[in-house]
């Protein structure tokens, strides 16, 4: 899709991978950090800045963005977005990748998902949950898998999901690999997959895998038992 202004909250592995991938496809990317003037951080991000990615504060990245990506730990996300402020976020698409874990390894959002919590806290923001069912390497290189995988969309706003679908396909996912699950409540399933993800990773010895939705031959006969 045509170049967009993308802000990414979080300078960890996920934020960096997404920033590099979207910059390569012609988007104007700003990474938001709590310490944007830290010289050690800027040195770590040297390859990204050389590729045209700009480093700014979290608020600066949000102000820049048409699409704001939440790549922060799910336990911190709402507080950070609250500090940025609802007026700055109003009308924007928030592409939420976050999943929250507690110290004991359990999910921080066992009932209502982080995606729902963000949407409830910022009703004028258009939240779309996606990409949280794969690791950072597969997010930006789906062709590294032996076969096609599936990623998911959850959100209330049709136009926002169309925008996010375009950004996901810019990462290399085919359009038919992106499955729209419906409203933001379906983000619960995406986030809870994190527990199965960890089990699969431990069983296979790698985080670099995908999942694929496989339908019955002929498409099946609808929901039921």
172: its two tokens: 């290399």
Do you know the residue count of the chain? Answer: 225
Residue 119, domain member (yes or no) = yes
Residue 75, domain member (yes or no) = yes
Could you tell me the strand order of the sheet in which 5-9 lies? 54-57, 28-33, 5-9, 67-70, 93-96, 126-129, 151-155, 178-182
User: Is the CB of residue 126 less than 8 Å from the CB of residue 156?
Assistant: yes
Residue 197, domain member (yes or no) = yes
pLDDT score for 202 = 97
User: Is the CB of residue 25 less than 8 Å from the CB of residue 170?
Assistant: yes
User: In this structure, what CATH number is given to the domain that contains residue 42?
Assistant: 3.40.50.720
Residue 147, domain member (yes or no) = yes
Residue 224, domain member (yes or no) = no
Q: Taking the chain (225 residues) in consecutive chunks of 10 residues, what is each chunk's mean pLDDT?
A: 90 96 96 89 90 95 96 96 97 97 93 97 98 97 93 98 98 96 98 96 97 85 65
Total of domains in the chain: 1
98: its two tokens: 């976050």
Residue 70, domain member (yes or no) = yes
pLDDT score for 225 = 56
Residue 222, domain member (yes or no) = no
Residue 149, domain member (yes or no) = yes
8-state DSSP, 154: E
pLDDT score for 221 = 64
pLDDT score for 220 = 64
Distance CA 58, CA 46 (A): 18
Q: Which domain holds residue 113?
A: 5-213
């Amino acid at each position: 899709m045509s170049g967009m202004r993308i802000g990414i909250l979080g300078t960890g592995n996920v934020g960096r991978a997404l920033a590099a991938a979207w910059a390569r496809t012609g988007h104007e990317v700003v990474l938001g950090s709590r310490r944007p003037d830290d010289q050690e951080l800027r040195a770590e991000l040297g390859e990204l800045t050389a590729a045209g990615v700009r480093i700014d504060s979290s608020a600066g990245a949000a102000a820049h963005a048409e699409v704001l990506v939440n790549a922060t730990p799910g336990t911190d996300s709402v507080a950070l977005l609250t500090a940025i402020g609802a007026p700055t976020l109003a009308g924007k698409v928030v592409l939420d990748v976050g999943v929250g874990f507690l110290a004991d390894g359990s999910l921080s959002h066992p009932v209502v998902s982080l995606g729902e919590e963000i949407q409830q806290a910022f009703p004028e923001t258009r939240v779309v949950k996606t990409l949280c069912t794969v690791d950072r390497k597969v997010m930006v290189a789906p062709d590294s898998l032996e076969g096609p995988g599936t990623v998911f969309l959850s959100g209330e706003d049709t136009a926002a999901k169309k925008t996010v679908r375009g950004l996901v396909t810019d990462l290399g996912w085919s359009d038919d690999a992106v499955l729209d699950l419906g409203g933001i409540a379906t983000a619960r399933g995406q986030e809870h997959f994190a527990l199965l993800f960890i089990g699969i990773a431990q069983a296979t010895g790698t985080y670099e895998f995908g999942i694929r939705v496989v339908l019955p031959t002929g498409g099946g006969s609808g929901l039921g038992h």
